[in-house]
Amino acid sequence: MDLRNIAIIAHVDHGKTTLVDELLKQSGTYRENQATTERAMDSNDLERERGITILAKATSVEWKGHRINIVDTPGHADFGGEVERILSMVDGVVLLVDAAEGPMPQTKFVTSKALALGLRPIVVLNKVDKPDAEPDRALDECFDLFASLDADDDQLDFPHLYASGRSGWCDAELDGPRKNLDALFNLVLNHVPAPRQLKHQHEPFKMLATTLGADPFLGRILTGRVESGTLKTGATIQALTRNGQKIEQFQVKKIQAFRGLGMQEIPEAIAGDIVSIAGMSKATVSDTLCALEVDAPLEAQPIDPPTITVTFGINDSPLAGRDGKKVQSRVIRDRLMKEAEVNVAIKVTDTPGGEAFEVAGRGELQMGVLIENMRREGFELSISRPQVLMRELDGVKVEPIEEVTIDVDDEYSGAVIEKLTGARKGELTEMKQQNGKTRIIAHVPSRGLIGYHGEFLTDTRGTGVLNRVFHDWAPYKGHIPGRRQGVLISMDSGQAVSYALWKLEDRGHFFIGAQADVYQGMIIGEHSRDNDLEVNPLKGKQLTNVRASGTDEAVRLTTPVTLTLEQAIAYIDDDELVEVTPKAIRLRKRYLDPNERKRHAKSSKA
């Protein structure tokens, strides 16, 4: 059967997963009466809740006697490690661009990776039926983007289609029949080459492992594209590291291939196909699985380095152990090491005390997703404020710079530009106004963006859209001020009393409500001034045996501010932690005792 391997790449929320749904339906993958779910490829709970793709996933469809392996990739740059590995498995990409928004930061990120590998993209202008769609402008912007990324002549001569993934049609002309996706299927067969590996069928077996999975019965499973040769179930093969060192020799227990949304066992893997292999105990991502006579590993795609680091520690608060079952540092370490093995964009290192671990990654969203997954698995953690990783280049201290693309209503553009280019040390590179909207593009230090998103939503009344992607390393830009407001700290342990909170409302706003469990050193609200203030949320009303002539006024509390996990991590200062348990997210001071806090504050200033 003729074979094609493609990846669908795009900026987040431009419709990749919805388009794959329609490709599955129209290729006859589903039975006519089969119940289907929307965004079938987003199988992970967090993906469904957030409406984003986090993990790359493969599927396979048959069309007119051809098999097309399709990989759905994440759009967020935080999960770029996934995108980079997946692109080395395919022979072509379908670049999806929203006809209203045009190319966005992540479009640029994933396209640069595809062009660097020599892939020739097919551009699909999606959502052309939106009221504000401008497909011609979006197409021109795509050409400009390709040119700015040094695309060669073949890549610049890209074919394009107009589509509405949700409505299930794709046409070569904007005013086409709008019936089905046949035009896309046919273009993939005509434009994307068959895997070059098919010519290497008679060479020894070689495969580069790109994703790692686990099965309760089979154990470790590695997925990748067969680069040469064939492999049968029961064969004995070896695994080599990037440096060519032999890790292990093992017998292949099972070979599975993607068929529709499921996996199907096959007796033999052929060159060019994307398959999963079981039987190994040590081999991992970026290793080469190969025949015993092979001694040179396949070249693995280099991964962009991490830009931020977060400390994961044990939960040592007075409320520790109430919600979660996994609280020991040994269990936390095992889980983080397992994550680092699967996710090549994450690096884990031990700290001197052994009670905490430094986790380096691509961004706050990636860290937030990892913490949320661990929280749901029953872990209790204490999380530090993200720190940006600095480097030394030719004796100069450099820091990561991100390209920030912002779309806001014209009236809010001044406030946004002032915040980015003022204290946050950003540089404005481009500004375009159109139809009452302003697009602002700026290069801002990663340090300046930690905790900015909440402020940005406030400044734009929730209407602004902010996207960011790693741009480059640049000389250190100097001091960037942190949070301006102080915090309200509980001076006692127990349950918060509504009367006490009511009396303290003029001091700031609260993160907790009445009856919430609090402890000494826990942060319960934000102070209205710039200094920290210790307060007593447990103080009840002094009652006497003399009854008042009228009834007491009912205490009416202002609704507390509920911080999400990412907001809490971005909000805290260097001397604070986020306590994460399966049922709660609390903010606290690193040192709970006030005397200890003062002592450490003095020593850090000295």
Binding residue ranges for GTP:
13-18, 126-129
CB neighbours of 395 closer than 8 A, spacing ≥ 6?
Answer: none
Q: What is the helix (H) or strand (E) element at residue 513, kind and residue range?
A: none
Rounded CA separation 274/292 (Å): 21
Buried b (16+ CB within 10 A) or exposed e, 235-254: bebbbbeeeeeebeebebbb
Burial class (CB in 10 A: 0-12, 13-18, 19+), 51: exposed
Rounded CA separation 468/62 (Å): 37
C-alpha dist (Å) from residue 482 to 297, 436, 452, 501: 47, 32, 10, 27
CB neighbours of 67 closer than 8 A, spacing ≥ 6?
Answer: 1, 2, 3, 4, 60, 61
Residue type, 29: T
Rounded CA separation 252/137 (Å): 52
CA-based nearest residue to 117, from 159, 143, 83: 83
Rounded CA separation 569/559 (Å): 21
CA-based nearest residue to 417, from 370, 464, 451: 464
Rounded CA separation 88/299 (Å): 10
Pairing type for strands 2-10 and 246-251 reads unpaired
CA-based nearest residue to 337, from 352, 350, 324, 353: 350
Kindly report the CA angle at 352 between 349 and 357, in degrees rounded to 5? 35
Question: What does 213-271 look like in DSSP terms, one character per residue?
Answer: EEETTTEEEEEEEEEESEEETT-EEEEE-TTS-EEEEEE--EEEEEEBTEEEE-SEEET
CA-based nearest residue to 289, from 307, 275, 301, 303: 275
